[in-house]
Structure 1
Amino acid sequence: MQRSRTEKKIGFLPLLEKLVPHISSVSRPGVFSMAALALLVSAAASATETAPEKAVGISGTGEPVALVDLVPHQLPGAAVDYDLRARLVKVAPGGAINNHPHAGRPGIVRVVSGTVIEYRGSASRTLKVGEFWTETSDVVHWFRNPSTTEGAELWVVDLVPRKK
């Protein structure tokens, strides 16, 4: 007895039927071949995606860029009372963040685009892409974007009281 085109078992069909028993019930030839191809590609990809036994091609994992001592912040409660927050803060051309303290809210900020000027009391400094500052318990500061045409972006990571 001659099989129809959809019933003909070709090459990898017996293997596929073992992996996915209902595959031979597919009645449209185009669907079967696409399903089989997707399954084989997926199986092949997952077989080659294994974790290396040690890190490869990684740099910058040694010394930290910055550390903030949490002891001077005298944080009340326990670790479960706080969240470690990471956010991207965008400062429009000419925009500014108002003067604010960091007692009880330690953080590290890195400039990822543009330029900002940070003011601490009467001192100021200009920070460009890749530069950072720490926000320790004694920091009271504000900053602004001096550009009239280019926005600035800051990657801000800070410890904040968990909202209840």
Structure 2
Amino acid sequence: MGALQTQITGVEGREDARDHTLQVQSLTRTVTALEARRRKRNFRLPGILETVGGDDLLPYVQSLMAKIGVKGSKDPGILLTAFQIRKAAAAAGDAPRDTIVMTRVVAVRTAILSHSRELNNIQFEGHIVAIYGDIPFAALMRQRQLAPIAKQLREATIRYRWGTDGSL
């Protein structure tokens, strides 16, 4: 009888652990979705020099947008704010910090990202500039996990889209 009780307790413990794992996964997806919603108007500019900062940063980004020919970039209210984030712990000591730029509406961010994809190398003031969407870290990790599947889909010429939480 004692052995049967031990087995029942073990099964109940595994069910509880499975339930907790499902709850953690659900909460992680919810937090990632909320973070993605908060970031959906932002884009990232890696590699802007440290000499540009503070009050000069937003006009610098506005002139970059005007140079690459983003429609409506002359409007001063199209970009709300720009700020530099701290370096990653693994970054080299002289590596520049990334700049996050917040747009007024999502359509502007989408236009900027699609226009920047059409241009191969964006040269601005002697530097090559890249423009990326501001994606949550958890979504990036999920995309890295699903990279082999995405590669197989590309090789089979199957179209796919990444979800805001890193899902396919």
Using the size of structure 2 for normalisation, the TM-score is 0.24
Using the size of structure 1 for normalisation, the TM-score is 0.25
| The structure with more radius of gyration | 1
